[in-house]
Amino acid sequence: MPRLNRYIASSGLCSRRKADELIEQRKVNVNGKVITEPGFSVNDKDKVFVNQKLVRPVKHQYYKFYKPAGYITTSSDEKGRKTIYDLLPDSLANLKPAGRLDKASTGLLILTNDGDLINELTHPSVKVPKIYLVTINGRISRRQLEQMALGIEIEPDKTAYADVTVLEADNKHTLMQITLHQGLNRQIRKMFEHLGFEVKSLKRIQHAAITLDGLKKGEFKPIKPIQIKELRFFLNKLKGLQSEQAMSRSVSRAGVKD
């Protein structure tokens, strides 16, 4: 039998972490009884309510989508701008993107109703790699590349980092492959603005283990179960590696004497 927090997350309402918070806040009841234990076991016959609303597990769906320029990554917009859901069928309207791309940017979006997976792909603590192809006006220098690797303060108390590989360069433009491990708003554009460049094009080509391969602009396709399995393995391995690195740093600091 599933744990209560997993049951709520499987409904697509929220992530498991958020479900834990709702349970602790006494906003969840099972069969009319308030439950405060995230590990409480439930079955298909139980009626689970969150904020007095009945929730049921749904079958998880996983899609990848090639976002074209000119669309925002949201389900609705007060200003009347076009959204990615204008390009998607109604059957996918319940899916949410794992992260965003701004209006002018293109490329890969992972769409799903799996709240836990979205949380893992976007939570700052996991540092999931995202890879982009970026073209700027002008030629970037070695010193500026070093600045991007060491960190650029794009907002007060917000320092952005990027791993950059130059693919093509002349006096008019530089084409680069950029890997980010953060999810700061408009991070790449703000970094280049700080360096005095304009971003001419920005396309995400990979998010964790999922790539843009096989898609044209505006197209979408389901992610195969084997790819989801590989993605979960990738994320678990990444979290394990980061945990080992954090432990190593802690041990190193503990060994330093004043």
Q: Classify the C-alpha dihedral 235-241-243-245 as positive or negative.
A: negative
The average pLDDT across 73-78 equals: 83
The average pLDDT across 184-196 equals: 96
Task: Identify the pLDDT of residue 252.
Answer: 64
C-alpha closest to that of 92 among 208, 222, 217, 204? 222
pTM given for the model: 0.83
Summarised one tens digit per residue, pLDDT across range 209-248 is 999 999 999 999 999 999 999 999 999 999 888 877 767 7
All domains in the chain, ordered by first residue: 4-55 (3.10.290.10), 62-124+211-223 (3.30.70.580), 130-207 (3.30.70.1560)
Summarised one tens digit per residue, pLDDT across range 80-95 is 899 999 999 999 998 9
**Range from 4-13, 200-209, 225-234 carrying the lowest mean pLDDT:** 4-13
Q: Does position 253 have pLDDT exceeding 70, yes or no?
A: no
Task: Identify the pLDDT of residue 130.
Answer: 98
The average pLDDT across 154-177 equals: 96
Active site residues: 102
Contacts of residue 150, defined as CB under 8 A and 6 or more positions apart, other chains included, come to 161
